[in-house]
């Protein structure tokens, strides 16, 4: 699901522990929220094990999941200190920072197999889709 600041109903409810918004066992939820009202933009991944893991755009969840791999391969996980020098971190952010949402969407598309039309998201014309997996 894609959400933004005041309209981030799932992220807000889930973080507030609204019981009806907690994922069921075996139900996977992947939420991207721009958090324009209270940055940073965040990925919340509830992989179906009753827990949720947060990652800011440009980072991974740190769990080494297929989601982390997809985000890394898409270039959406930026280098950080101490893995890279301060100059390398700044250079990467300057080169790719403006494209960060695109890189995140690419990683999410690889992970989910669902294409997200970014122009439709920007225009507010994204239809809702609910996928049920057997």
Cβ atoms within 10 Å of 12's Cβ, excluding its own: 15
pLDDT tens digits, 88-134: 889 988 988 888 888 998 999 999 888 877 777 777 676 665 555 55
Q: Is 66 exposed, middle or buried (0-12, 13-18, 19+ CB in 10 A)?
A: exposed
Helix (H, G, I), strand (E, B) or coil at 52: coil
List the structure tokens of 111.
């992970």
- Tell me the C-alpha distance between 69 and 41, whole Å: 19
pLDDT tens digits, 7-43: 556 666 666 567 777 777 788 888 888 777 777 888 8
């Amino acid at each position: 699901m894609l959400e933004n600041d005041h309209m981030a109903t799932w992220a807000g409810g889930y973080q507030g522990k609204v019981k009806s918004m907690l994922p069921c066992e075996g139900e996977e939820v992947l939420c991207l929220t721009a958090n324009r009202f209270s940055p940073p933009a965040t990925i919340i991944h509830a992989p179906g094990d009753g827990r949720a893991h947060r990652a800011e755009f440009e980072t991974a969840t740190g769990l080494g999941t297929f989601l982390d791999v997809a985000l890394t391969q898409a270039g959406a996980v930026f280098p950080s200190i101490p893995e890279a020098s301060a100059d390398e971190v700044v250079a990467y952010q300057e080169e790719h920072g403006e494209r960060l949402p695109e890189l995140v969407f690419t990683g999410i598309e690889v992970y989910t197999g669902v294409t997200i039309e970014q122009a439709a998201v920007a225009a507010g014309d994204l239809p809702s889709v609910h996928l049920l997996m057997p």
